[in-house]
Amino acid sequence: MTTLLSAAALAAAIREGRLTPLALAERCAERIAALEPEIGAFAALDLDRMRREAANEGPRLAGALLAGLPVGIKDIIDTADFPTRRGSPIYADHQPASDATAVRMVRRAGGLVAGKTETTEFAFMHPARTRNPHSAHHTPGGSSAGSAAAVAAGMLPLALGTQTGGSVIRPASFCGVTGFKPSFKLIPVNGIKVFSWSLDTIGLFAAGVRDAAFAMGALTGRDFALPDSSGTPRIAVVDAIATEEASPAAHEALAHAARLLARAGADVRPLALPEAVHAGNAAHGTMQEYEATLALADEWDRHRTLLSETLYTFLDAARAVTPEQYDEARRVARRARHALADAFADVDAIVTFSAPGEAPEGLHSTGIASFNRLWTLMGAPCVNVPGLTGATGLPLGIQIVGRFGRDRVALTVAAMLEDALAAG
Amino acid sequence: MTTLLSAAALAAAIREGRLTPLALAERCAERIAALEPEIGAFAALDLDRMRREAANEGPRLAGALLAGLPVGIKDIIDTADFPTRRGSPIYADHQPASDATAVRMVRRAGGLVAGKTETTEFAFMHPARTRNPHSAHHTPGGSSAGSAAAVAAGMLPLALGTQTGGSVIRPASFCGVTGFKPSFKLIPVNGIKVFSWSLDTIGLFAAGVRDAAFAMGALTGRDFALPDSSGTPRIAVVDAIATEEASPAAHEALAHAARLLARAGADVRPLALPEAVHAGNAAHGTMQEYEATLALADEWDRHRTLLSETLYTFLDAARAVTPEQYDEARRVARRARHALADAFADVDAIVTFSAPGEAPEGLHSTGIASFNRLWTLMGAPCVNVPGLTGATGLPLGIQIVGRFGRDRVALTVAAMLEDALAAG
């Protein structure tokens, strides 16, 4: 239904003179003008400015890594020239004084800021107005709803999101695009509205896995070139986290992905995670609760009548978490990270569910993060690989999880899966 | 020369009805009005508002932990009702939309925000206008210059600061007050202007060690009650970091402190830190440089002509640090933390220099952080214990360093030293 915009291919076309930043900006602007009324991916948008910047800066940007590609920025990330509403009426008129570091990384790499993308309230669970580009009656997922939808609708080649529970991988799975949550702190979080400082991670959305790797290299100045051949990676199938929450379609998709990976030459084996790793799942909730009561202290103390009922109820209950419980959760998390590192000793990547299934019907909920929380807490790089659909015909992603700090390995295995899915 | 205001004693007096928050606010306001023209500790101040809040909120606050004590907030920490200039003309008109978490913690504990205290530019090295309360011709140290000076001048019982290198411990030493830099992230940093996210730590200034412990307990909701008897702590004397930079007076003070601690019953022994810990000292610089180029990306890209020459030169050179060098520095830091944890296996606290000596003459430099950087990188709790003076007659502090997460132990040993110094 949509034609995704490949960031890597478009940047190459611009660098080689086959396309100009302005022509690309026009293409994106047309697509946005046509689809935005139905999808509602943007919280702030200025297509004329984008065209103007592409025209004025185009010749200079054409030689830069991102070559003037328009990039969407989740609306909990500060921008100096767009309001930043954080999905909350509390910040209806909020205009940050400066760009977040991640926004500056986009600009330094030669990207254009296309606009701000819709987020759930403070990147928690109260939904954004965004609709799934594959079906107006289904959620795009959250919290990075607008970023996922904008890329899935072919409005933009790239968009930044954040993940505290499953806010990059889940919407990527629901919208059928690549979502990449890098290792914790690989992209600095200065200038985002914090929900949980031990968990919040900036990630991105792109058409394909190689587009995500391309963007990561451009943004971070690190080597994200994926090898031509993926060799024989050792891949562990993990299906025993919240197993009962995964739909039959999700189980089928995971088994299918595992078979394809084996057929493509990977050494695929099941993996039972140690109990110490599973324990991290519960620690995530405690840490998120405790930190959110402090990170949102101003909003609670001064504006709580403007919070959604969902967030109000969450924060009200979260106040019961004691510092001692928080410290214990941090110890559990640390032990889980060590145990996971041990489990990764003879494994290159884990293949597992991205989400319980396709996007649920309705816009009242963005879905659940049961298959994402643990990996966020572990700080591990996670990739949603699109390409499959479920019984509803909607997208259903597969998640590749790598070892902390081994982001390129995770993307390499994800690209292998992407190729295998494309080949059938 | 000054009468320090004891936070613990004043809060007790208010709780017991011997003092009101309004009477205390009046006392602070008078002191500020008299001394501020010479010392220049405040970047933003509204004494009438402080009095009004103390009058209106006083009866309610009298029962709270901080009992309405006026607290100074370093001006890189966001406040919703005071401008936050970050020591830079770039933010001359900057008014944050919300309070930083630490400011909310002060208010939730029943403190009053007295005003914003002067900071060096972005908490780096370009000096604030503040003068040392002990001598108008000497630096108060930096970067938390105003917070240290306000407490040292008896203007306030408490003030928040931050430390990336030595920005709490050094000004506390130069100004002759207690400075406490807690374990990394014990006080959340959301809402501060970041310089280096791996290092920036919020700390505080108070009259004495027990005042700092009292405030930490009130702010964090954790148990910071110090034991009546400090027992027989095992204390390691560390004098081999940047030894040649320590003045004869500093060496003498450290030896004196070690003798007093031994006489007070501590088990005092020398400690040669493992090479892996020393290596952390160099890693600090690399990490700070790399992270500052990203944390200050907006200011560099959009406003660099408004940076001081000191900061401009630093950031310009820092751009040469590669991601690979940064990653290597992080590995060195991690090994140093593990080696320090091992060294702490049979040690309760380290006693070492706070600074190379008394405050240097002049206001053009805030001094150096040679004795602080490593401990900041280690995330270790650090206390400056005042009580000694050097050859110039100016204050000279002694530093107690604890094990990461054992903040109360560090404060207990610091209180033991404080008592020993008071007893002579």
What is the residue whose two structure tokens read 């990630």? A203
Give the pLDDT mean for B294-319: 98
In this complex, do B104 and A221 lie within 8 Å of one another by their Cβ atoms?
no
> Is the pLDDT reported for residue B1 higher than 90?
no
Which of B183, B190, B219, B315 has the most A C-beta neighbours within 10 Å, making it the best mutation to test the interface with A?
B190
Residue A283, token pair as written in the block: 């620690």
Burial of A423 (0-12, 13-18, 19+ CB in 10 A): exposed
Q: Are residues B111 and B137 in the same domain?
A: yes
Residue A162 inside a domain? The answer is yes
pLDDT computed for residue A205 by the predictor = 98
Nearest residue, CB atoms, B220 vs list A221, A297, A323: A323
State the Cα–Cα distance between residues A31 and B90, nearest whole angstrom: 38
Residue A390 DSSP one-character state: -
Question: What residues have CB less than 8 Å from A102, skipping those under 6 apart?
Answer: A73, A77, A160, A187, A188, A189, A191, A192, A202, A219
Provide ipTM, 2 decimals.
0.96
Q: For residues B382 and B397, what is the distance between their CA atoms, to the nearest angstrom?
A: 12
What are the phi and psi torsion angles at A116 (to 5°)? -100, 135
- Beta strand segments in B164-258, E: 178-181, 201-206, 234-237
| B114 three-class SS | strand
CB atoms closer than 10 angstroms to residue A227: 11
How many CB atoms are closer than 10 A to CB B361? 14
pLDDT (mean) for A213-219: 98
* pLDDT tens profile A125-150: 999 999 999 999 999 999 999 999 99
Those residues whose C-beta lies under 8 Å from the C-beta of residue A222, and which sit 6 or more positions away, are: A216, B323
Are B142 and B94 members of one domain? yes
Question: In this structure, are B351 and B419 located in the same domain?
Answer: yes
Residue among B157, B141, B182 at smallest CA distance from B12: B157
Q: What is the mean pLDDT of residues A196-208?
A: 98
Say if residue B319 is in the same domain as residue B375.
no
Residue B180 and residue B79 in one domain: yes
Q: Which amino acid is at A180?
A: F
Residues 100 to 139 of A: which have CB under 8 A from any B CB? 101, 104-105, 107-108
Name the residue among B340, B335, B417 with its Cα closest to residue B384: B417
Q: Which of B229, B212, B131 is nearest to B177 (CA)?
A: B212
Q: Which of B105, B294, B322 sits opposite A188 (nearest CB)?
A: B294
- Contact criterion met (CB below 8 Å) for B319 and B293: yes
Strands B158-163 and B178-181: unpaired
Confidence of residue A2 (pLDDT cuts 50, 70, 90): low
| Six token digits for residue A421 | 């899915």
Residue B117 inside a domain? The answer is yes
For A50, the enclosing helix (H) or strand (E) is helix A47-61
Residues of chain A neighbouring B288 (CB-CB closer than 8 A): none
Are the Cβ atoms of A80 and B221 closer than 8 angstroms? no
Residue A221 to residue B323, Cβ atoms within 8 A: yes
Helix (H, G, I), strand (E, B) or coil at B198: coil
pLDDT digits (tens, 9 = 90+) for B54-85: 999 999 999 999 999 999 999 999 999 999 99
- Respond yes or no: is residue A198 known to be catalytic: no
Least Cα distance to A218 among A364, A97, A370, A105 occurs for A105
Contact present, B106 and B291 (Cβ < 8 Å): no
What's the confidence (pLDDT) of residue B2?
58
> Would you call B294 an interface residue with chain A, using a CB distance cutoff of 8 Å?
yes
**Mean pLDDT for all residues in chain A:** 97
Look at residue B160 and give its three-state secondary structure: strand
By the CB < 8 Å criterion, does A99 face chain B? yes
Of A98, A294, A301, the CB nearest to B298: A98
CB burial readout B169-184, b (16+ within 10 A) else e:
bbbbbbbbbbbbbbbb
Contact B14, B24 (CB under 8 A): yes
> Does B193 lie in the same domain as B137?
yes
With beta carbons under 8 A apart, name residues in chain B contacting A197.
Answer: 185, 188-190
Nearest to A297 by CA among A143, A201, A194, A188: A194
Residues in chain B closer than 8 A to A299 (CB atoms):
98
CB contact under 8 A, A104 and B194: no
- Among the candidates B315, B333, B351, a domain finishes at B333
What does the pLDDT read at residue A216? 98
| pLDDT > 70 in chain A, percent | 100
Amino acid making up residue B231: G
Q: Which amino acid is at A89?
A: P
Q: How far is the C-alpha of A326 from the C-alpha of A329, rounded, in Å?
A: 5
Whether the CB-CB separation of B169 and B182 falls below 8 Å is answered with: no
Q: Is residue A338 part of a domain?
A: no
Is B132:B149 a contact under the CB 8 Å cutoff? yes
B251 and B171 in a common domain: no
- Beta-carbon contacts of residue B273 (< 8 Å; ≥ 6 apart): B238, B240, B241, B339, B340, B343
Q: A226 with A74: CB under 8 angstroms?
A: no
Q: Does B98 have pLDDT greater than 90? A: yes
Q: Are residues B287 and B351 in the same domain?
A: no
Assess contact for B280 and B377: CB atoms under 8 A. yes
Q: State residue B181's pLDDT score.
A: 98
Residue B158 host element (H or E): strand B158-163
Q: Express each pLDDT in A33-78 by its tens digit.
A: 999 999 999 999 999 999 999 999 999 999 999 999 999 999 999 9
Please list every residue in chain A whose beta carbon sits closer than 8 Å to the beta carbon of residue B185: 197
Neighbour count for residue B337 (Cβ, 10 Å):
18
Q: What values do phi and psi take at B384, rounded to 5?
A: -90, 125
Average pLDDT over residues A264-282: 95
Nearest to A140, CA basis, from A399, A395, A414, A418: A395
Quick check: B190 contacting A, CB < 8 Å? yes
Confidence of residue B240 (pLDDT cuts 50, 70, 90): confident
| Partner residue facing A101 (CB), from B190, B222, B297 | B297
3-state class (DSSP) for residue A148: helix
Q: Give me the helix-helix angle, B47-61 and B21-39, nearest 10°.
A: 150
B331 touches chain A (CB under 8 A): no
How far apart are the C-alpha atoms of A351 and A254, rounded to whole Å?
Answer: 8
- B137/B192 same-domain check: yes
The β-bridge relationship of strands A234-237 and A349-353 is parallel
Distance from CA of B376 to the nearest CA of A (A): 19
For residue A218, is pLDDT > 70?
yes
Residues B393 and B345 in one domain: yes
pLDDT average, residue stretch B84-102? 98
Question: Looking at the domain assignment, is residue B227 inside a domain?
Answer: no
Q: Which residue of A has its CA nearest to B299?
A: A98
Query: Is residue A114 in some structural domain?
Result: yes
Give the residue numbers of B marked as catalytic. 74, 143, 167
B61 and B189 fall within a common domain: yes
A302 touches chain B (CB under 8 A): yes
Within a domain: B226: no
Question: Which structure tokens are listed for B16?
Answer: 């017991």
Confidence of residue A25 (pLDDT cuts 50, 70, 90): very high
| Residues B114, B160 within the same domain | yes
Task: Show the domain range for B260.
Answer: 235-274+336-423
Tokens of B350: 């380290």
In a domain, A160, yes or no: yes
Q: What pLDDT score was predicted for residue B242?
A: 85
Catalytic residue among A88, A144, A147, A167: A167
Q: For A380-408, write each residue's pLDDT tens digit.
A: 999 999 999 999 999 999 999 999 999 99
Give the residue from A178, A165, A170, A164 showing the smallest Cα distance to A145: A170
What's the CATH number where B387 sits? 3.40.190
- Residue A1, pLDDT > 60, answer no
List Cα–Cα distances, A308 to A167, A312, B79, in angstroms.
18, 6, 24
What is the total count of domains within chain A? 1
Query: Based on the number of CB atoms within 10 Å of its own CB, is A146 exposed (0-12), middle (13-18) or buried (19 or more)?
Result: buried
Quote the tokens at residue B347. Answer: 């040690």
**What residues 62-81 of chain B have any CB closer than 8 A to a CB of chain A?**
80
Q: What is the DSSP string of A319-347?
A: TT--HHHHHHHHHHHHHHHHHHHHHGGG-
User: Considering the domain boundaries, does residue B91 fall inside one?
Assistant: yes
Give the whole-angstrom CA distance, residue A154 versus residue A139.
Answer: 17
- Given an 8 Å threshold on Cβ–Cβ distance, is B104 in contact with A297? yes
State pLDDT tens for residues A312-323: 999 999 999 999
Stretch A99-112: mean pLDDT, rounded?
98
Q: Which of A80, A194, A221 sits opposite B190 (nearest CB)?
A: A194
CATH of residue A127's domain is: 3.90.1300.10
**What is the Cα–Cα distance from B353 to B238, expressed in whole angstroms?**
8
Cβ-Cβ contacts under 8 Å, B222 against chain A: 323
Terminal Cα-to-Cα distance of chain A (whole angstroms): 19
Q: Which of A91, A294, A302 sits opposite B188 (nearest CB)?
A: A294
How far apart (Å, rounded) are the C-alpha atoms in residues B418 and B233?
14
Please, where are the H alpha helices in B62-163?
101-108, 145-152
Rounded Cα distance, A355 and A285, in Å? 18
Per DSSP, the three-state class of B417 is: helix
3-state DSSP assignment of residue B266: coil
Yes or no: say if B377 and B332 are a contact pair by the CB < 8 Å rule.
no
Cα distance between residue A358 and residue A356, in whole Å: 7
Residues in chain B within 8 Å Cβ distance of A101: 294-295, 297-298
